[in-house]
Amino acid sequence: MSIFVDKKNTRVIVQGITGRDGLFHTRKMKAYGTRIVGGTSPGKGGTTVDGISIFNTMHEAVERTHANTSIIFVPAPAAADAIMEATDAGIQLIVCITEGIPTQDVIRAYQYADDRGSVLIGPNCPGLITPGESLVGIMPGQIFSKGNVGIMSRSGTLTYEVAHHLTLAGMGQSTAIGIGGDPVIGKNFSEVAELFLTDPQTKAIVMIGEIGGNAEEEAAEYIRIHNTHSKPIVAFIAGKSAPPGKQMGHAGAIVSGNSGSAAEKIAFLEHHGILVAEDPADIPALIKLRIEN
């Protein structure tokens, strides 16, 4: 079963479709088979790009296309407003690719969306893909293959690397979701783990974490309690060499003292029965090991 997106039901509006990144990735998503039903760009309503209708507002776009999903390529200063506009228009799933959004803006936009029942993925994320069904994001679709391993990740590039290794090992993916690396995000590891644990297609789960915060630890606790079908769980934690107090890459990847360090996270996950790979290339073998045991 698809998580969040599929070929039949997912109808996507691209917010910021006429920008460089928006148009580039719209073409990639459309080529993959995603149902792109429109885009928004204030002042350009009534025009088209690559045969896709452009609207001035999300309300107009949803009314005309019956879209249920949006992907945001709007610049950071306006991205929070774009999230809230999509929510007001009745969009059920909002995928925010934009990075560099001020944290206070994300808090405000996330709360607004959550209070009204919209699901937010991101911001500062690569989006999500259900292989062979739908790509709503910036992931390179050609490296993914249809199967039964669910991927949830704080890192875009590591998502691609792990998916590549899984595909080469003959382990296709059910859905891969990049949750984003900012301090405040929409769906977190625990919430995505809940969906994978209850998904009949997903037989194993890979969690790609990073130093900083406690999202991985919270997910490990949730999985320990709710993994009633004993699905194999394998993790990788990036940032082992990061010095304490140094921000590495994502805004959320910062270690304070021992809290949030790679060593601390790895020890916690292993204590909760999750196998942790030393290298992303080791993940397929660890999944196989856990299945056989």
Residue 51 lies inside a defined structural domain of this protein: yes
132 shares a domain with 68: no
For 193-223, what is each residue's pLDDT tens digit?
999 999 999 999 999 999 988 999 999 999 9
Verify cis geometry, omega within 30 degrees of 0, for the bond prior to 42. Answer: no
Beta-bridge partner residues of 71: 14, 95
219 shares a domain with 163: yes
Out of 105-109, 143-147, 261-265, least confident range: 261-265
81 shares a domain with 131: no
Residue 3 lies inside a defined structural domain of this protein: no
214 shares a domain with 165: yes
* Band of pLDDT at residue 247, cut at 50, 70 and 90: low
State the number of CA atoms in the 13 A half-sphere of 90 facing the CB. Answer: 11
Please say which residue of 121, 155, 177 terminates a domain: 121
Is pLDDT above 90 for 264? Answer: yes
Question: Is beta strand 48-49 parallel, antiparallel or unpaired with respect to 52-55?
Answer: antiparallel
109 shares a domain with 138: no
220 shares a domain with 169: yes
For 37-79, what is each residue's pLDDT tens digit?
999 999 999 999 999 999 999 999 999 999 999 999 999 999 9
Residue 58 lies inside a defined structural domain of this protein: yes
Q: Which is nearest to 120 in space by CA: 130, 133, 106?
A: 106
pTM (predicted TM-score) = 0.94
Query: Average pLDDT, stretch 31-36?
Result: 98
Please say which residue of 121, 144, 176 terminates a domain: 121
State yes or no: is 229 an active-site residue.
no
Residue 224 lies inside a defined structural domain of this protein: yes
178 shares a domain with 248: yes
Residue 150 lies inside a defined structural domain of this protein: yes
List CB contacts of 271: < 8 A, sequence separation 6 or more: none
pLDDT of residue 255: 47
As for how many domains the chain has, the answer is 2
Residue 177 lies inside a defined structural domain of this protein: yes
200 shares a domain with 102: no
Please say which residue of 121, 142, 166 terminates a domain: 121
Mean pLDDT of the chain: 94
% residues pLDDT > 90 (the chain): 89
CATH of the domain at 186: 3.40.50.261
Tokens of 231: 């699905």
DSSP state of 242: P
Range of the domain at 248: 127-292
Q: Where are the beta strands (DSSP E) in 145-291?
A: 146-153, 173-178, 204-210, 233-238, 275-276
81 shares a domain with 204: no
Among residues 164, 226, 229, 250, which one is catalytic? Answer: 250
83 shares a domain with 172: no
Is pLDDT above 70 for 109? Answer: yes
* Amino acid found at 74: V
216 shares a domain with 236: yes
% residues pLDDT > 70 (the chain): 93
Q: CA 198 to CA 265: how far, in whole Å? A: 25
89 shares a domain with 62: yes
CATH of the domain at 84: 3.40.50.720
Residue 6 lies inside a defined structural domain of this protein: no
Tokens of 254: 């910062």
Q: CA 131 to CA 134: how far, in whole Å? A: 7
Q: Which residues of 184-210 are buried (b: 16+ CB within 10 A; e: fewer)?
A: bbbbbbbebbebbbebebbbbbbbbbb
List CB contacts of 285: < 8 A, sequence separation 6 or more: 169
Is pLDDT above 70 for 246? Answer: no
Residue 97 lies inside a defined structural domain of this protein: yes
